[in-house]
Amino acid sequence: MKELYKCKGFELASLLKKKEVSSKEILQSFINQIEKKEKFLSSYITLDLENALKKAEELDIKRIKGEDLSFLAGIPVAVKDNISTKGLLTTCGSKMLCNYIPVYDAFAVKCLKESEMIILGKTNMDEFAMGSTGENSYFGVTKNPRDIKKVAGGSSSGSAAAILSGEAPFSLGTDTGGSIRLPASYCGIVGLKPTYGAVSRNGLIPFASGYDVIGPMGRCVKDVSLLSQIIYKYDNKDMTCKNFNFDFSNLENYSLKGKKIAVIKELFNSNIISSDVLEKVNKALKIIENMGGIIEEISLPEIKDALWVYYIISSAQASSNLSKYDGIRFGFHPDEDSDIEKIRTNAFGTEVKRRIILGTYILSSSQYEKYYQRAVNMQNQLIEKLDKIFDKFDFIITPTSPRTAHEISEKVNNKNIYDEDICTVFASVTGIPSISLPCGVDSSDMPVGIEISSKKFSDHILLKMANALEKEIGFDNDIV
């Protein structure tokens, strides 16, 4: 038998079910891997291994007693550090919250606990989820397990790196403008950004409330689908959460025959996307055609506008969401003499401050119409446009990222860094579900991600499509 940490999540679950291994053995295998890898990778900010071991032992006893357990009961999971965990440090990757311990669990965490998954710890991330590389964390840069000189992608950097390195079989990430999909793509794993409103945001520490979503990450589509079943639940404490009945039960036997797939001309026929990435994505499109899918090029010039819509609205909302961090009631407060200005200057990183300043300016009464109001109007137009596209098409396919993972600190001072999000933000601003799965490696052996999006609340169908495609692509994403 191969080592447990090398197994996919669903394989571990069946081994447990067949009682061939115990939860404790599984957990121990991942802990060993964490001890080996963590010093190079910084996937985690906080580990909670003692509690995890206790929980695993409890579950093994339950299993021996023959208690009815959910499919993923006793399987470890890592949680991004902007998702509140009761009694467990939750920092958002920021010095500002370096000592913040929530008094309540996020709804998604409650779901994990109800399914009796075992939380390993809290994963590293760009500060307050602002960033696409994983470099903006107060707790250090997350390295790409495939090449530790390279970034893991962000902002859910740790949640992606932990999966690829065998430090966790499952993880929760969050996606505001691509923060699940980009690191999934950079690390060669699978990450799903759910429909906005399909998964409760309750307890997710907000960056941009109108876009933030919690989503599942894993080695394969099947794992992501299994974790989806646990977190896609209605929560009346989140007014933007809709009560929708998703059917994740039947992932297999989905035929792409006759399914219509749109590719966006403005992305594919431009120099935005690197040739390496384009080649791999085009290869995947060929595979889809061979499977009977009908690929059609469409024009969506607004895809470029989506970028500024995203940066305007997300920065504005962030400036409001982050203004409560003043060190008065919780968070960083070094000494009695520290006033709010000192604390905020000291405890926020550069990127966070940049966006707070930008967002504050955007919302000022003299600029509101010019920026925020216009961005909202543009967003509504884009939503309408996509609705029309989905009247005709089942899926939209793009690369996940214009380029593969780059060297750490390579682009830090490059203002085009926001362009990394060009393929992901259109799904964020329109609220549609979008998944990234690996479709090959580039010339430097770094994974390329393909991104598939579908209409709102069709997440379960999107997973079926991705699952079918994943099998045909046959990408080998063994633990590195």
Partner 1 sequence: MEYDIRIGLEVHCELNTKSKMFCSCKNSFGDSPNENCCPVCTGLPGALPSLNKEAVKKAIKTGLALNCQINNNTYLDRKNYFYPDLPKAYQISQFYEPICQNGYLEILDNDIIKKIRIKEIHFEEDAGKLIHDRYDDLTLIDYNRCGVPLIEIVTMPDIENINQAKEFLDGIKLLLKYIGVSECKMEQGMLRCDVNVSVMEKGSETLGNRLEMKNINSFSAAIKAIEYEAKRQIEELRKGNKIISQTRKWDSINEKSVLMRDKEESADYRFFKEPDIPFIEIDDKIISEIKREIPILPFERFLTYTKKYNLSKDDAMTLIRDKEKSDFFDKCVLINNNYKIISNKIINDFAKISPEEFCRVIDFVNEGRISNSSVGKIFQEMEKNNISASDALDNLGLNQINDENYIEEIIKTVLEENEKAVEDFKNGKKNAVGFLIGQCMIKSKGKLNPQILNSMIYKIIEKGE
Catalytic residue among 155, 157, 185, 428: 155
To the query of whether residue 436 is one of the catalytic residues in this protein, the response is: no
| Cα distance between residue 473 and residue 440, in whole Å | 8
- Measured between its terminal Cα atoms, the distance across the chain in Å is 18
Catalytic residue among 8, 24, 37, 80: 80
- Residue 478's Cβ-side half-sphere holds a number of Cα atoms within 13 Å equal to 3
Work out which of 89, 298, 363, 383 binds partner 1, going by CB under 8 A. 363
What are residue 78's DSSP bridge partners? 121, 171
Return the axis-axis angle of helices 23-41 and 9-17, rounded to nearest 10°: 160
| Residues counted in the chain | 480
To the query of whether residue 110 is one of the catalytic residues in this protein, the response is: no
**Residue 315 lies near partner 1 (rule: CB under 8 A):** no
What are residue 441's DSSP bridge partners? 447
| Cα distance between residue 110 and residue 198, in whole Å | 16
Catalytic residue among 23, 43, 156, 179: 179
Question: Residue 82 CB, nearest distance to partner 1 (Å)?
Answer: 8
Residue that the structure tokens 């069946």 belong to: 14
Stretch that binds partner 1, among 17-25, 362-370, 391-399, 471-479 (CB under 8 A): 362-370
| Cα distance between residue 171 and residue 160, in whole Å | 8
Beta strands 44-47 and 395-399: pairing type? unpaired
**Residue 317 lies near partner 1 (rule: CB under 8 A):** yes
Question: Residue 401 CB, nearest distance to partner 1 (Å)?
Answer: 26
**Residue 326 lies near partner 1 (rule: CB under 8 A):** yes
To the query of whether residue 39 is one of the catalytic residues in this protein, the response is: no
Asked whether 276 and 443 are in contact (CB, 8 A), the reply is yes
Question: Residue 174 CB, nearest distance to partner 1 (Å)?
Answer: 11
Asked whether 84 and 104 are in contact (CB, 8 A), the reply is yes
Three-class SS of residue 293? coil
Work out which of 2, 68, 103, 474 binds partner 1, going by CB under 8 A. 103
Q: Pick the closer one to partner 1 by CB: 143 or 344.
A: 344
Work out which of 243, 253, 365, 443 binds partner 1, going by CB under 8 A. 365
What one-letter code names the amino acid at 168?
A: A
Stretch that binds partner 1, among 31-39, 97-105, 138-146, 378-386 (CB under 8 A): 97-105
Work out which of 133, 179, 202, 398 binds partner 1, going by CB under 8 A. 202
Binding site for partner 1 (CB under 8 A): 83-84, 90, 92, 97, 100, 102-104, 106, 201-206, 208-210, 236-240, 316-317, 319-320, 323-324, 326, 328-330, 340, 360, 363-365, 368, 372, 376
* Residues annotated as part of the active site: 80, 155, 179
